[in-house]
Amino acid sequence: MDDILDVDLLAFERGSASERAAVVDGVKRSLATGFVYTKHDVGEGFLDSAYGMLADFFSRPTEEKSAFHVPESHGQTGYTGLLVETAASADVADWKEMLNWGAPLGEHHPLRARYPFRYGDPVLPESSVPGIHDTLLSFHHQIFEIQRRFLRIIALGLGCDEYFFDEMLTDGPTLTRAIRYPPMPEAPSGQHVWAAAHDDINLITALPRATAKGLQVRVDDAWADVAPPDEHMIINTGMMLERLTNGAIPPGTHQVVGDPEEPGERLSVVQFCHPTPWTLLTPVASCVTSDNPQRFGGISAGDALEKVLWEINLIAD
């Protein structure tokens, strides 16, 4: 859709002052939808390898995949089966299965002691797909670096210091999630969709690739397809960024629905960029004005996440 703009992260980092300003302006305008496309420097060959390994894993029997389920991880690490996660706006569960992982944190780190399920060790199916452990941890690191760099553009657009987000991202529980959406004709009923309408909870989400159409964004009470140019990454905003910006940047409301003309499955990998759980999500001063008085009080990022995990049925797993 025309409202989602295509910007160049590398031009922001390497360009002149005017080129940097143009990227900042483009991101500000595009994020009125909650979505933006960007060029990036993650290798396409590496993405081919990672997605191929994940497709191999998801093709395995349910019993084999379920061996990597982590009880009481609340969908923050390991395998999550079909019909578990339920959008807060939906009455039935999403038609998808997932593999979740994040970067390991030191054993005695205070964040790990305080938020154990948020910082569990990655549980990845190395015994089923040799080499997948290192590949997926590298995937997580590379996408996180894109997110950290992209948030510097957003910070400048808010009137903050370019490195405003850097501190809150250090040791944050950023989560990578591979999602397989099975063919819709196999769904147990016509009520199910791949992923019902929802907002992400985090700061920003990155999606480097999907194997089929289906992602849609809501703009002006209508749904529009999200279709990035080739070799571009999708960035969308979440509820934590909405709170920090006093609503100046809305969350990108989206859904994933099967296309009747493409009845097969869909594989995508999304990465949810989170601040540390003890970050206080209070609106920044530059976003509180006489025309936009303060809308949100302070809540910790950890409490905000747990509230949403309860609403989408992952706390009760």
Q: Which helix (H) or strand (E) holds 35?
A: strand 35-39
pLDDT in tens, 254-299: 999 998 878 899 999 999 999 999 999 999 999 999 999 999 988 9
Q: Check pLDDT > 90 for residue 132.
A: yes
Domain coordinates in residue numbering, the chain: 6-311
Nearest to 204 by CA among 268, 156, 155: 155
pLDDT digits (tens, 9 = 90+) for 58-92: 999 999 999 999 987 777 899 999 998 887 778 88
Give the model's pLDDT for residue 316.
Answer: 56
Question: What helix, strand, coil percent values describe the chain, rounded to 5?
Answer: 30, 20, 50
Taking 70 as the threshold, does the pLDDT of residue 240 lie above it? yes
Over range 182-207, report the average pLDDT: 92
- CA atoms of 61 and 42, how far apart (whole Å): 31
Superfamily of domain 6-311: B-lactam Antibiotic, Isopenicillin N Synthase; Chain (2.60.120.330)
Confidence at residue 1, expressed as pLDDT on a 0 to 100 scale: 60
